[in-house]
Structure formats: structure tokens, C-alpha cells
Amino acid sequence: MHQGDTILQLQNVSRLYHQGGETIRALDRVNLTLRQGEFVAIAGPSGSGKTTLLNVSVGLDQPTEGKVWVGGQDLTGMSAPALAQLRLNKVGFIFQSYNLVPVLSAEENAELILLLRGVPAAERKRTVHRVLKEVGLEGLENRRPSQLSGGQQQRVAVARAIVAEPALVLADEPTANLDSETAFALIDLMEKLNQEHHTTFLFSTHDPRVMKRAKRIIYLLDGRVEKDVVSPDYA
Amino acid sequence: MTIVWKIAWRNLWRKPRRTILTVITISLGLALLLISLGLGDGSHNQMIESAVHMGSGHVLVQQKGYLEKGGIDRLLSPEEIRGVESWGQEMKGRFPIRHILRRTFVSGLASSADGATGVQLIGIQPLEEMQASDFDEKLIEGEFLNADDGDWVILGQGVAHKLALEVGEKLVLMAQGVDSVEIRSRLVRVRGILRTGLEEQDQALALMPLGASQEFLDLGTQVHQIAFLLEDSRFSDELASIGQENFPALEVLSWGEALPQLRDFIRIDDGGSYVMNLIFFLLISFTVLNTLLMSVLERGREFALLHCLGLTPGRRFIMVLVEAFFIAFLSALTGFGLGFSGHLYLSRSGLPLDLFYSGELSAAGVAFDPVMYSHLSPARILQPMILVFGLTLLLSVVPAWRAARSADVHSLGRA
């Protein structure tokens, strides 16, 4: 099923939740293929299945039906430690509410993934400083999350997501908690990283202004892919 | 693993007040436990030493059956005495043997112009016994015996009181000789009066020089007992066991076998204190469990994040164990510092029991020293430290398990 530069592939993926005797179909037979270097937005109203799609894509949630491949690896039946290892090696995350480790400084948060991957100290320091500079956090390396603004925290989260040069970066509503100016600055940054490093981004959003910046937009409604279109700006 | 240790350490100081309170609780528990163990062991040692220095010994050699049945005719022959003493000299190279003493024992009657009373007459080597035993320290009147004091005795305060005797006054001792049906009697004078602090001993004790007692009872050079006094009671069992192998025809007893009442008292006392300490530590355990569990439950979102980023369940489990390890380490260090300081003070200055009791105290046939001194061996210090570590790590398994399983990724989306 997997093709050469395919980073992510979902085949007939459904995710059902049972709540109070009722079955909720969060994802309904979703098919999706993401190739290296794409900059893709998932759009849709609240409850359309955006977050579930992101979670299922990297083994944070298990599909009820269907199959998922990340970087050519079939996630079906993989153990929790194996999935953790896969995420560590291939995926970067950016969350709506930043989700930094509060007891670590900006530099240590960015360094976390490299540490877990066992990258040597000297290389780690070099890479982290380069990435923090790239995301505009030079001089703020030693500050803890509580000492940073929302925009700065999200930049740390971006640095953490890209520092290990993952094949795929998932971002769940990355601009939702930011003011317009900071939100656009963040999207600029993501775009720049996509163009310069060929990093694949898959992010969910319901902000039309952010959506416009994506090269491809997947519209979800009630767990189904309603539309999968190349953005008019890039068509 | 460095990051796991770093996050674990910093997590502790996220809520410093909670961490400090937990560490203080465990430390105080450990310190009190060390002090209580020190005082318990110290008082037991004092009781053992007091008992072995008041007519007994760390190791006793006597004829088989003497412990159970006694009997004036259960004597060690001159050959046996030589054999045992020569073995004792050999053993000085392996064990810290301070003194080897010969003794005779007989029950008899003491009478004066004012009455008569039963006595336990012990024949002792005065010079050796003065160095080895505490009899001379218990004298309240007069002087201790000399080796050639053929017609002098030391009496317990109760005996002297019953017979209305004072130092220098006369009394008659009567007892059965070893190979005779006749009652033997001897007129002696009081050289000194002692008070051991044990009523029953003070009411019956009479000490006489060994030579005089052998002559009085017609024992020749035979004795009833050879007592070994050591530097440290811990060697008692081993020396007695080697002695028993060497002299299978004789009875070679450790202090515990010779003084079973005292041994049982110490065991029961130890058992009681173990139970109390266990209850105490179980109460502390709930504090630790509460702290760790609260700390983990509060951080569900963070564990979900680490799960997302690729920290395996095993590493999250270890992270919480490491936090518990840090708490245990800090607590053990502080608790040891506090407890050992307390122990050092109490081992030098002691705890005066008259703060709590007036009068003389005794248990299991042994008088308590009025000042209780702490004594802790390295093994005794290690036991509660290991208990603190073990218990804290054991209790952290539940929160660590929660952390390992905590993967509510939906919480990450919430602001």
C-alpha cells in the first residue's frame, strides 16, 4: 500500500466511541495520503473529527476499522512502547495549548526529543541553539514556560516539534490560543520550515485565514472527508 | 535516562512545601525509629551486661544438668577446670575474652543473734571478680573481699537487714557439704554490704572467697562453674557453641541459655517495638502514598504529553520511581542526620530514667541502670534506612503505574 515518498496513509479508517449506550462515529471510512513536503490543513467545525484524525494518524488513538501507515510502517497491532518509539523518531507535535513541560526551560523543552533519541550532548546543544534561533527565541533559552508569552511558548513547541527533523509534524489548532499577529507569525514560521526543510505539516484549524495559507485543505464533516482540495492560492 | 532524572528532580520542587513536608514527615519517623532502636538496643545491652556482671557470664561452663537441677555435687573436676581454662586461653586469640572466673554455689542458712535467713552463697575469686564483675561497685558499706579473707563475707542488704548485722559483726553460715549428710557450719564476719537493686538477690546474696567456700563445703579444688566474660556479648553464642563441641560432656551455655528469662524478655520487647515501628511507618506510608499519588494525578496532562512525544510507559513508570527515590534519599539523609545526632547525644549523656520513674526498676531478674544509653550497630542503622527506601519505592509503584498508563491525549487539546 505504501508508495515511495508517502509519509502518512489512512485506509478506510473509522473510529467509533461508545458513550452512554450511544455510538458516536468520530471518523467514518477516511482515506488519506500525505506525501513528503506537503503543507496540509484539516478543516471542519467542532466535533467533525479533526483531533481524532490527528490522534489516529500517529497511534495516539486506535482506529476501530481500517489501517494506518506512518513512514511505511503499519501501525496495526503495534505495542505501546513501539508506537512511542515511532512517534519519537518520525513525528513532531504542536498543540493548541502549547503543552510544554513546565519544569524545563525553553532550551530543555526543545532538547527533550533529542535526549530521548540519544543524540550526543554536543550535537544536541548545537542543534537546539540553531533551531531556537530559527524560531526567534534566541536569548530566551533559559526561561521556563511560565516566564514566556503565549506566542513564545508556541514557538518553543514548534522548536521541539522540528528539532529532530521528523518526517511529519502534526499540529492541533496551533493558532487557536494566539492573537492574530502571533498566529500569522507562527504560520509564517511553519511555512518557512516547510519550504526550507521540506518538513511535512498536517494541522487542524477552523480559522479561514490560517486555512488560506495551506497548500492543501481536507474538509471533514461528521467524521467523513467531505472535500480534499488543493488551495486555490496554490492551484 | 538523564532527562527522566532531571524532570523527576524538578517535579519535586514544583510544589516545594509539599515535598519538604513529606521529607520532614519521613525524616522525623526515621529519626525517631533510630533513636527508639538505639535506646532499645542500648537498654538490652545494659541489661545483659548487668546480668552477666552480677554472678553470671557471657559463657558458662558447668556440669550437664546444673542449669536445670543445680546440686552441690555437680562439680567440675580439677582436670576439667584445667582443660576449660586452657581452652579459654586459646580462644583469647579469636574472641575478646576479658576474664575467666571460677565460682562455687550453695544454698544455706545464715544466722545471727537476731535471727536466721536462707542465703545463696557464692564462692568467688575476689581479685579477679573485682575486675570482672560489678559486685564491688554495689557495695554500700564496708569493703570488698580479699583473696585470703577466709572468714569474711559480703552480704546482700536484705540479708544484713534481716539478721540486723553491720560491717565487722559475726554470723554463722550453715550448709550441706558435698560428700556428707552432715550440716557444716562456719563462723564468719561481715566485710561489706551490697545492694544490687534486685530485691530477691539482696535478700539472699552472700559472697565468700573461693578458697574459703571450697574448704567450708569440702570441695577440694573443684568448682561448680567457670564463667567467661567478654568485651562484647555478640560473641557469646559462637564461643559457647565452640565450647560445647570441645566439651561435649559438660554444659557450655551462652548468656541467653544461662538467662532464658532475660533472653525472652528482650525478644518480646524487640517484637513489641517492631510492631509499634511497623504501625508507625504504615501511618507515614499513607503520607508518602498521598503525596506521590496527588503529584501524579495532577500531572495527567503532562504524562499524556510525554506519551505523545515518545516517552515509553516504562520510562514514565521509572520517572515516578525516581521521584520516590529522591524523596526516600532526602528523607533517609535527613532522618539519619537527626536520628544519629540523637543517638550520639544519648549514647554519651544517656536518658535518665528517674525523669519517668522513681525508685529502682527491674525486669526479668535484672536491675535497670538508672540511666539508659543508646547503642546502634551499623546493621541496626541500615535496617530502617532500607525500610524507608523499600517502603517509599514500593508505595510509588501504584502512582508510577498510573503515570505509565496515563495517556489521555484528549486532555492535551484543552486550554
Chain B CB contacts of A60 below 8 Å: 307-308, 407, 409
Does the CB of A229 have a partner CB in chain B at under 8 Å? no
Cβ neighbours of residue B327 under 8 Å, at least 6 residues apart? B12, B19, B22, B23, B26, B288, B291, B292, B392
Residue B3 distance to chain A (closest CA, Å)? 7
Q: For residue A178, what pLDDT is reported? A: 77
Interface of B with A (CB under 8 A): 2-3, 6-7, 10-11, 13-14, 301-302, 305-314, 407, 409-410, 412-415
pLDDT in tens, chain B (415 residues): 577 888 888 888 888 888 898 899 889 988 998 999 999 999 888 888 888 877 788 999 999 988 888 788 899 999 999 999 999 999 999 999 999 999 999 999 999 988 899 999 999 999 888 888 888 888 899 999 887 778 899 999 999 999 999 999 999 999 987 776 778 889 999 999 998 877 888 899 999 999 999 999 888 999 999 999 998 888 999 999 999 999 999 999 998 888 888 889 889 988 888 888 888 878 878 878 888 888 888 888 888 888 888 888 888 899 889 988 999 899 999 999 999 999 999 999 988 877 776 666 666 666 667 788 999 989 888 888 888 888 888 888 988 998 888 777 766 665 4
Residue contact B313–A84, C-beta within 8 A? yes
Q: Round to whole Å and give the CA distance between B384 and B390.
A: 9
Tell me how far apart the terminal alpha carbons of chain B are, to the nearest angstrom. Answer: 30
Q: Round to whole Å and give the CA distance between B295 and B359.
A: 53
Complex ipTM value: 0.77
Residue contact A116–B3, C-beta within 8 A? yes
Averaged confidence pLDDT in chain A: 88
Q: For residue A117, what pLDDT is reported? A: 85
Chain A CB contacts of B310 below 8 Å: 84-89, 91, 113, 116
Q: How many other CB atoms are found less than 10 A from the CB of residue B359?
A: 7
Chain B CB contacts of A108 below 8 Å: 6
Closest chain B residue to A101 measured between Cα atoms? Answer: B302
β-sheet bridge partners, residue B176: B183
Chain A CB contacts of B2 below 8 Å: 115
Stated length of chain A: 235
Burial per residue of A112-148, b for 16 or more beta-carbon CB atoms within 10 angstroms, e otherwise? bbbbbeebeeeebeebbbebbebbebeebbebbbeeb
Q: Round to whole Å and give the CA distance between A130 and A110.
A: 11
Chain B CB contacts of A96 below 8 Å: 413, 415
Which DSSP symbol is given to B234? G
Radius of gyration, CA atoms only, chain B:
31
Q: For residue B222, what pLDDT is reported? A: 93
Q: For residue B415, what pLDDT is reported? A: 45
Q: Round to whole Å and give the CA distance between B288 and B286.
A: 5
Give the closest residue to B3 by CA, choosing from B316, B377, B301, B292: B316
Q: For residue A1, what pLDDT is reported? A: 45
Query: Which residues of chain A are modeled with pLDDT < 70?
Result: 1-4, 232-235
Q: For residue B359, what pLDDT is reported? A: 62
Q: For residue B410, what pLDDT is reported? A: 67
Burial per residue of B69-100, b for 16 or more beta-carbon CB atoms within 10 angstroms, e otherwise? eeebebbbeeebbebbeebbeebeeebebebb
Residue contact B415–A96, C-beta within 8 A? yes
Residue A143 distance to chain B (closest CA, Å)? 14
Q: Round to whole Å and give the CA distance between B61 and B126.
A: 19
Does the CB of A98 have a partner CB in chain B at under 8 Å? no
Residue contact B313–A80, C-beta within 8 A? yes
Q: How many other CB atoms are found less than 10 A from the CB of residue A172?
A: 24
Q: Kindly report the CA angle at B141 between B136 and B143, in degrees rounded to 5?
A: 50
Can you say how many angstroms the Cα of residue B146 is from the centroid of all Cα atoms in its chain?
33
C-alpha cell at A181: 499577529
